[in-house]
Structure 1
Amino acid sequence: MDAKFSSSDGINLTGRILFLSLTGILAVSAFLLDLGAGRSFLSNANLTLPFLLSAFATWAAGLKVIPILRSLKAGQVIREDGPQAHLKKAGTPTMGGIFVVPVGVAIALLMTGFTPNVLAVSLLTLSYGFIGWLDDWQILRRRSNKGITPKQKLALQVGFGGLFCLWALFNNQSVDITNVLLPFGLMLPLGLLFWAIAWFTLVAESNASNLTDGLDGLAGGTGAIALLALGAVLAPNHPELMVFCASLSGSFLGFLGHNHNPARVFMGDTGSLALGGALAATAILTQSLFILLILSLIFLAETVSVIAQVGYYKATKDEKGIGKRLFKMAPLHHHLELSGWTETRVVGWFYGIAGILALLCLVVF
Structure 2
Amino acid sequence: MDPPVSLNTINPKVIECEYAVRGEIVTLAQKLQEDIKSKPDAHPFEEILYCNIGNPQSLGQQPITFFREVLALCDHPAILDKSETQGLFSADSVERAWRILDQIPGRATGAYSHSQGIKGLRDIIAVGIEARDGFPLIQMIFLTDGASPAVHMMMQLLIRSEKDGILCPIPQYLYTLLQLPCMVELWYALIPTGWGLEVSELKKQLETSRSKGITVRALVVINPGNPTGQVLAEENQKAIVEFCKQEGLVLLADEVYQENVYVPEKKFHSFKKVSRSIVLKEMESSHLLARRAKALEDAFNKLEGVRCNKAEGAMYLFPRIDCLKRQSKLLKLRKRCTILPQEEKIPAIITRLTDFHNCFMDEFRS
Q: TM-score scaled by structure 1?
A: 0.21
**Which gives a bigger RCO, structure 1 or 2 (Cα 8 Å, sep 6+)?**
1
Higher helix share: 1
Q: TM-score scaled by structure 2?
A: 0.21
